[in-house]
Structure 1
Amino acid sequence: MRLHHQTPFVISTALSVHAGRTVGLKMEALQPSGSFKLRGVGHACETYRARGAQRFISSSGGNAGLAVAYAARALGVPAVIVVPETTSDRAQQLLRAEGAAVIVHGASWQEANAEAQALIGAADAFIHPFDDPLLWEGHASMIDEVAAEGFRPDAVIVSVGGGGLMVGVIRGLQRNGWGDVPVLAVETAGAASLAAAYAAEERVTLPAITSLATSLGAKQVCAEAFDLRHRHAITPVQVTDAQAVTACARFLDDHRILVEPACGAGLAVVYDMPERLADFARVLIIVCGGATMTAAQLAAWQQGVPS
């Protein structure tokens, strides 16, 4: 049973005209759980269930948690999602609507994650939001689908939080013979743990997450995302919160799809930094999604986000 859907791949006329080059979109926002996370999470949940897991535990009030809750319901397995106090009421409602038990604990994901780890019993499987080879294997399938469409990009734009999406995309590129296709790894200022790690040549931990793009809010990237810089061409790129929010609004106008700022960060490279794409004739953007985003929240951010 495959839990994720094969999502549409489209050439964006609006973004292609704006950037002066062909821009392809992999529409992961259209997954049933609302984001790309379902690919990797679904694969992990199916694998752990086959190994005998009787309950799933995770630590995310956002896209990963929703993917776990969706997969658990589809597989008939109970799920417990531990979320920090900052998790919105809407996100908690969405988790409960999928049948998950929700525990609110701690002021940050790190504290919620520690609580989730403490709950793990012998018959449980912990589903990490971004650091598990099973997740990366699942995420790689989106590149298989792009390859099946016959679209070979000259560069791929991905948003980076903990790094799981980027690792999966690169695995997909490499297994399709596209190991020479560079990746632009986009973060918002205030959540740029990958850029900080690459600059320091070690996996640094950010003192705090100050970006509103909370889905990018991993204080430290996973080890595989850090180590990949030696095996693949990766260029860190940073955008502001305001650029990410504006990109969400422009994308809504261009494609009638609402995404969160973590996704808008990648789109902002095309909207605000087309010069960064000068060397590439064909660009692929992973439209990663954002299950808890609302039109009201976007409007509020448009009114109040600092530049």
Structure 2
Amino acid sequence: MPQPSKDIAMNLHFETPLMESRPLSVLAGRSIWLKLDALQLPGSFKIRGIGHACAVYQSQGAQRFVSSSGGNAGLAVAYAGRRLGVPVTVVVPETTTERAKELLRLEGAEVVVHGSSWQEANQFAQTLLGPTDAFLHPFDDPLLWHGHATMIDEVAQANLKPDAVVLSVGGGGLLSGVVEGLQRNQWHDVPVLAVETEGAASFHAAVQAGYTVELERISSVATSLGAKRVCEQALRCAHEHPIQSLVVSDHSSLAACERFLADHRILVEPACGAALSVVYDQAPVLASYSKVLVIVCGGATATIDQIRTWAGQLDKS
């Protein structure tokens, strides 16, 4: 498979800060390290894998990128397309926020609204593909996992080997990439704490069943975790690497977003708040580890007003 030049691939994402959080370390009574991928220019870790995939597809002759995500993946495709000089079409469901559509258009993407769910938008996106188009899946593509793994490469290069990694799981792309990164750095003994919110826990359901299952619906406010079925690779990772599946509440996730903003002046969306809530709520699972790495995956479409609105709605329910 042709590979993009290293310069092009690396220019689409940058090495993000790795820092020990004093507020979280004091709270948790152990060393909490943060990989701050929320600082990537499109707003999330997604640009690592999607940028890599876009560069590969361009090197294979792709003349347009097509995506089916109104969230972080779509924004990463739009950003990569603009940087690489390739037109981008993003199909989003009717539930996509105006802010998300505005951000996509700001990157120069054509935005097509279709269907009431990501699944319907994704099916329609497939019908748009021509012979010189490349489809960018939000999470289920080995090129994405390979790109996401670079965040663990950066941690290894900093000579920080954690006792455990905490991350959020949606479709399973981040989980698959982090496990690839751990294994290619010979960190087979570093467990992953994979966190989802109630109402969006497709990975937890797959682990329990032993095979991927489709949720009837997504009822969590953490819509970036809203894949009804996790990718098969995520379940394979659970068989090949020590992974513990955790499920937290929307309330905990939203509260973690507020607290993280106060502690570190960085706003993340509820999907990222799910991972942070494990530390903020001092989950018993952390007792076994003295040095914990949290992947702060980010999120560009949430605002603090929206987070507070969701929290207020939960309080009333």
1:70 aligns with 2:82: no
- Deviation string, structure 1 residues 217-259 (Cα, Å, up to 9, x no partner): 0000001001111110111000000000000000001100000
Structure 1 length-normalised TM: 0.99
Aligned to 1:54: 63
Please report how far the alpha carbon of residue 302 of structure 1 lies from its aligned counterpart in structure 2 after TM superposition.
2.8
Q: What is the one-letter code of the residue matched to 1:227?
A: R
Which residue of 291, 294, 297 corresponds with 2:300? 291
Please report how far the alpha carbon of residue 201 of structure 1 lies from its aligned counterpart in structure 2 after TM superposition.
1.1
1:19 aligns with 2:28: yes
Contact 2:220 2:250 in 1 (8 A): yes
3-state SS of the aligned residue for 2:58? helix
Please report how far the alpha carbon of residue 303 of structure 1 lies from its aligned counterpart in structure 2 after TM superposition.
2.0
Aligned to 1:174: 183
Determine the C-alpha separation between the residues in 2 that align with 1:301 and 1:113. 26
1:127 aligns with 2:136: yes
Q: What is the one-letter code of the residue matched to 2:14?
A: H
Contact 2:37 2:44 in 1 (8 A): yes
Please report how far the alpha carbon of residue 299 of structure 1 lies from its aligned counterpart in structure 2 after TM superposition.
2.1
Please report how far the alpha carbon of residue 301 of structure 1 lies from its aligned counterpart in structure 2 after TM superposition.
2.1
Determine the C-alpha separation between the residues in 2 that align with 1:55 and 1:300. 37
Which residue of 95, 98, 114 corresponds with 1:89? 98
Which residue of 151, 154, 167 corresponds with 1:145? 154
3-state SS of the aligned residue for 1:211? coil
Which residue of 209, 212, 216 corresponds with 2:225? 216
Structure 2 length-normalised TM: 0.96
Share of identical aligned residues, percent? 62
Please report how far the alpha carbon of residue 273 of structure 1 lies from its aligned counterpart in structure 2 after TM superposition.
3.3
Determine the C-alpha separation between the residues in 1 that align with 2:80 and 2:220. 29
Which residue of 207, 213, 237 corresponds with 2:216? 207
Which residue of 243, 246, 249 corresponds with 2:258? 249
Aligned to 2:314: 305
Contact 2:93 2:116 in 1 (8 A): yes
Determine the C-alpha separation between the residues in 1 that align with 2:308 and 2:48. 30
Please report how far the alpha carbon of residue 295 of structure 1 lies from its aligned counterpart in structure 2 after TM superposition.
1.8
Q: What is the one-letter code of the residue matched to 1:236?
A: S
Please report how far the alpha carbon of residue 193 of structure 1 lies from its aligned counterpart in structure 2 after TM superposition.
0.2
Aligned to 1:270: 279
Which 4+ runs in 1 deviate beyond 3 A?
A: none
Q: What is the one-letter code of the residue matched to 2:181?
A: G
Determine the C-alpha separation between the residues in 2 that align with 1:274 and 1:82. 38
Q: How many equivalent pairs are there?
A: 307
3-state SS of the aligned residue for 2:89? strand
Aligned to 1:105: 114
Q: What is the one-letter code of the residue matched to 2:308?
A: A
3-state SS of the aligned residue for 1:278? helix
Contact 2:194 2:245 in 1 (8 A): yes
Determine the C-alpha separation between the residues in 1 that align with 2:168 and 2:254. 14
**Could you list the runs of 5+ residues in structure 2 that have no partner in the other structure?**
1-7
- Deviation string, structure 1 residues 78-108 (Cα, Å, up to 9, x no partner): 0000000000000001000100000000000
Which residue of 179, 189, 197 corresponds with 1:188? 197
